[in-house]
């Protein structure tokens, strides 16, 4: 590529090489951009104004894409947060259900103990009153 062409592209903002003294240092991105510009102008016959427009639109698309990808990342993060909250609530529901079951078992045991006392036997279905008053997990297991 002719040096004047490179300077023109730099003036138009199509490439932004760094400088080292009087020399221009082109990055890999700049080189790829120059090859792309050359293909647009020579192979497709697009003038420089058209190239500028194409590159500007591509930059806008890249920014829009980056913005949408960030939105997707934030949404995914929120989904994970909501899934963790859902799991906590499900665990709380399971705990509440277990407490209800335990309370019903305790109530039934107390009722059995109360009925046994009223009848005067003091023993409920082969268990003493103290065993019957214990929670199901604390009661002695039968050997059946």
Beta carbons of 132 and 113 less than 8 angstroms apart: yes
139 pLDDT exceeds 60?
A: no
- What residues are paired with 128 via a beta bridge? 123
Q: Which whole-number Å values give the CA distances from 1 to 4, 38, 80, 136, 141, in the listed order? A: 9, 9, 52, 88, 91
**pLDDT, averaged across the chain:** 87
pLDDT at 134: 54
pLDDT at 112: 85
Listed residue (129, 125, 99) closest to 113, CA to CA: 129
Q: Where are the domains of the chain?
A: 1-46
Give 144's pLDDT tier (boundaries 50, 70, 90): very low
23 pLDDT exceeds 70?
A: yes
The arithmetic mean of pLDDT across residues 63-67, rounded, is 98
pLDDT tens, residue by residue, 77-86: 999 999 999 9
Give 111's pLDDT tier (boundaries 50, 70, 90): confident
């Amino acid at each position: 590529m002719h040096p004047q062409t490179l300077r023109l592209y730099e003036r138009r903002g199509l490439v932004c090489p760094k400088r080292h003294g009087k020399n221009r240092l082109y990055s890999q991105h700049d080189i790829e951009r120059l090859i792309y510009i050359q293909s647009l102008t020579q192979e497709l016959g697009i003038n420089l104004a058209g190239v500028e427009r194409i590159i500007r639109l591509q930059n806008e698309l890249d920014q829009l894409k980056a913005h949408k990808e960030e939105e997707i990342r934030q949404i995914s993060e929120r989904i994970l947060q909501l899934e963790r909250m859902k799991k906590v609530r499900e665990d709380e529901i399971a705990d509440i259900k277990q407490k209800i079951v335990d309370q019903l078992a305790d109530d039934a045991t107390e009722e059995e103990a109360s009925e046994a006392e009223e009848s005067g036997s003091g023993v409920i279905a082969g268990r003493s009153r103290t065993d019957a008053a214990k929670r199901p997990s604390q009661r002695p297991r039968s050997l059946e």
